[in-house]
Structure 1
Amino acid sequence: MLEVGLKGHQEMTVTDQFTAKTMGSGVMDVFATPAMLALMEKTAFMSVAEHLNEGCGTVGTRVEIEHVASSPIGMKITCDSELTAIEGRKLVFKVEAYDSKGLIGKGTHERFIIESEKFQEKTNRKLEQ
């Protein structure tokens, strides 16, 4: 059952594939903002996945984040999420990312509960138009 207060946690290590240079979001060999965003979305998504009805999932619809510190290749990154609001099918999360030296990113993320098969079919119909 979904409840405000549900928490999520994910970890990863910065490798070359997650740098700004490789991801095309900059020229530095540092943890890319798009990679941090993906980790935040994954953390929120995974935190509620087992609490949804059979055949349901969530899709990301809104993100507001700050990337406040850089992290080098080889550093471990952790991400925590907390479900702060349930508004019908809309879920609102607080997300924070850390490296071993402290906070590197924070913000909010919204996801909507969807019926997975129906959502995919509707999306695929775009190809027929």
Structure 2
Amino acid sequence: MAEPALRFTVTEADTALAVGSGSLPVLGTPRLLAWCEAATCAAVEASLGAGETSVGTRVELEHLAATAVGRTVEVTARQVYADGRLRRFAVAVREVGPEGRPGKLVGSGEVTRVVVDAERFLARLEG
């Protein structure tokens, strides 16, 4: 399975101050987590059947370094485990350095997703 690499530029809306997870104008951990989940969604997408989607069920994430507004980060998700519907991904977030190459490690961890039938999943919420 290919390892997608998504790039995001940190804006004021992505800061800890804006998302309510702190008082500083640097990349907020909730946004970092959302970007990691987006990378895992991209990684699992090609393996989904008709009507299937995936849902996040577990996250272990370390936010290791501050990232300023205007900086770009690259987020990767590599599948490290699969068993039936369960998929586990190692995620890494790095600042994009000179020449567009990934640089300083900003965050890393593991995200677990489960493949589900979207219609059946949503139907369970109505009961």
TM-score by length of 1: 0.90
Query: Per-residue displacement from partner, 1:14-70 (whole Å, max 9, x unpaired)?
Result: 001100000000000000000000000000111111221110010000000100000
Q: Secondary structure at the match of 1:103?
A: strand
Which deviates the most, 42-51 or 107-116? 42-51
Work out which of the residue numbers 100, 114, 117 in structure 2 matches 1:115.
117
Q: Does 1:47 align with 2:47?
A: no
Residue 6 of structure 1 deviates from its aligned partner by 3.6
Question: What per-residue deviation string (whole Å, max 9, x for no partner) do you get for residues 97-126 of structure 1?
Answer: 01134100000010000001111111233x
Unaligned stretches of 5+ in structure 2?
Answer: 97-102
Distance 1:8 1:119 in 2: 26
CA contact (8 A) 1:85 1:93 kept: yes
Q: How far apart are the structure 2 equivalents of 1:42 and 1:123?
A: 23
**Segment drifting more, 47-56 vs 66-75:** 47-56
CA distance in 1, matches of 2:23, 2:74: 23
Answering whether residue 62 of structure 2 is matched by residue 66 of structure 1, we say: yes
The yes-or-no answer on 1:21 pairing with 2:23 is: no
Q: Secondary structure at the match of 1:10?
A: strand
Computed over aligned residues only, the root mean square deviation of the Cα atoms, in angstroms, reads 1.1
Mean CA deviation greater in 64-73 or 99-108: 99-108
* Native 8 Å contact 1:9 1:47 kept in 2: no
Aligned letter for 2:115? I
| 2:8 is aligned with 1:12 | yes
Structure 1 moving runs of 4+ over 6 Å: none
- The aligned counterpart of 1:105 is 107
Task: Judge conservation of contact 1:80–1:97 (CA < 8 Å) in 2.
Answer: yes
Distance 1:124 1:31 in 2: 36
